[in-house]
């Protein structure tokens, strides 16, 4: 399963969350494909002095997702892990038909 995870962190907790993030980077059952840190306010509702990181990762199970995100949540991050389906560029209509079966 692929997930896109959003981590919102108050700037005062960034050091603790970064440390937790480094510890879970190689969690068994999940693989980080890409990680981005937003340099500005990525969407409405983000409180001032909040850093947002977006991670795209694959996980073998929901337990692997929890093992990845829970330590960061304990360190002070708000984590949203959203399952996603990869859609090929130029082939979305065909992929939607497959999903509708």
In three state form, how does the secondary structure of 34-72 look?
EEEECCCCCCCCCCCCEEEEEEEEEECCHHHHHHHHHHH
Is 53:9 a contact under the CB 8 Å cutoff?
Answer: yes
What are the pLDDT digits (tens) for 34-91? 999 998 888 888 888 999 999 999 999 989 989 989 999 999 999 999 999 887 788 8
**Domain-wise residue ranges, the chain:** 2-100
The CATH code that applies to domain 2-100 is: 3.30.70.120
**Is the whole model's pTM more than 0.85, yes or no?**
no
Q: What angle do CA 47, 50, 52 make, to 5 degrees?
A: 110
Distance CA 67, CA 45 (A): 27
User: Mind listing the pLDDT tens digit for each residue in 7-29?
Assistant: 999 999 999 999 999 998 888 99
């Amino acid at each position: 399963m692929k997930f896109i995870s959003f981590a919102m962190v108050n700037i005062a907790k960034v050091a603790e969350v970064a440390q937790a993030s480094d510890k879970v980077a190689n969690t068994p059952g999940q693989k980080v494909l890409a990680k981005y840190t937003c340099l500005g306010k990525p969407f409405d509702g983000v409180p001032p002095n909040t850093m947002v990181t977006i991670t795209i990762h694959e996980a073998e199970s929901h337990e692997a997702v929890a093992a990845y995100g829970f330590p960061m949540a304990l360190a002070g991050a708000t984590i949203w892990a959203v399952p996603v389906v990869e859609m090929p560029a130029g082939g979305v209509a065909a992929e939607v038909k497959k999903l509708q079966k």
